[in-house]
Amino acid sequence: MRRVSRRRLLGLGVALVGGAAAGCGPLAGLDRLPPRAAPTAVPSGTVGYQDLVVGFAQIGAESAWRVANTVSMKETADALGVELKFADGQQRQDNQIRALRQFIAMQVDVIGISPVVESGWDDVFREVKDAGIPLVLVDRRADVPDDLYASYLGSDFREEGRNAARVMAGLVHGRASIVELVGTLGSAPANDRYAGFREILDGYPDLRIIASESGDFTRAKGREVMASVLRNFGRQITALYAHNDDMAMGAIQAIQEYGLRPGTDVTIVSVDGIHDAFQAMVDGTLNATVECNPLLGPQFYELALKVVNGRSVPKWVPSKESVFLADAAQQILPTRKY
Ligand code: AHR
């Protein structure tokens, strides 16, 4: 027997919620939507992409990486015919929690979320589970018991931190005074990139971190924090490790304004692999970027469909990633999609 999605059962679909899928502003359109009546019985069978109603609670638009991730989620939904309800959390956990409750009220078929920070999700995730809606973590993990989510799709952030340290050690021949620009405090990528980097540094006594501060994954904060660290440490600084490319781009500006040459006087390694980072490598102001792949839309909807159809899925679906050095940047730049 064919399983019918909540959208079909309720017959309220696209007309009611078309505004929300377009996603303009925080939680666009979601507040205005009436809750759907609860389905009584869901026959088993197969749901197709065109039956699927997905709620996705995005973090915000703090970086070029995040913008690319949002585009991938929206464009893939359009291409597959999935009905997507998109909520922009504007980097606030309370907004994301509110979005999840609205998705529950709408009785979407499946929920995706990139949790802005790791902790504080147990209660709302349990509400999602009690409502019978499967939840997929997208890009970032949450520190919750395994039974509260179906799968995590995303990167190995700790390995990214290790890779950043490995490439840094090679570039500076094992000796440097490093400034670290940390991502959003309490977020999975900031926690893991911090820890992974230090794991490798333990083997290099002359690689020293002299300052470590949060730049919240944004370009503006990266520039501001780097300028202040430069005022305190000046030419003592010989290397920079930024948890994302956007903070590195901001820091590059601060280093230039201070009168040092980024990429030469200060060796810089960051994470993401955005277009601007490749351009900076071509320009000689960035030395390496460790890739973190934001183009998760296709893998996400495939997972979501499997979960809704009751198929088994791995608890972690890792994304494929590389490390890029400046000497390959010119050739690779035109092929970058984000
Ligand atoms: O969670 C992935 C991280 O979030 C990216 O590295 C960063 O750019 C983004 O804001």
Retrieve residue 63's tokens.
């970086």
Structural domain for 181, as ranges: 157-292
Q: How far is the CA of 131 from the centre of ligand 1 (A)?
A: 30
Determine how β-strand 267-272 pairs with β-strand 53-58: unpaired
Same domain for 107 and 211? no
Count of structural domains within the chain:
2
DSSP string, 198-253: HHHHTT-TTEEEEEEEE-TT-HHHHHHHHHHHHHHHGGG--EEEESSHHHHHHHHH
Q: Rounded to an integer, what is the distance from CA 203 to the centroid of its chain? A: 29
70: CATH: 3.40.50.2300
- What's this model's pTM, rounded to 2 decimal places? 0.89
Within a domain: 287: yes
Q: How far is the CA of 60 from the centre of ligand 1 (A)?
A: 10
Same domain for 288 and 307? no
Within a domain: 73: yes
Q: How far is the CA of 167 from the centre of ligand 1 (A)?
A: 20
Distance CA 210, CA 223 (A): 18
**What are the pLDDT digits (tens) for 214-265?**
999 999 999 999 999 999 999 999 999 999 999 999 999 999 999 999 999 9
Distance CA 270, CA 274 (A): 10
DSSP string, 239-254: EEEESSHHHHHHHHHH
**What are the pLDDT digits (tens) for 200-213?**
999 999 999 999 99
Res 69 pLDDT > 70: yes
Same domain for 225 and 126? no
Q: By percentage, how much of the chain surpasses pLDDT 90?
A: 86
Residue nearest to atom 3 of ligand 1 (CA): 189
Res 3 pLDDT > 80: no
Distance CA 262, CA 70 (A): 30
Residue nearest to atom 4 of ligand 1 (CA): 66
Distance CA 171, CA 237 (A): 15
Q: How far is the CA of 217 from the centre of ligand 1 (A)?
A: 7
Within a domain: 144: yes
192: Cα within 13 Å, side-chain hemisphere: 21
Task: State the pLDDT at residue 32.
Answer: 34
Task: State the pLDDT at residue 326.
Answer: 96
Same domain for 165 and 274? yes
Same domain for 188 and 227? yes
Distance CA 310, CA 253 (A): 50
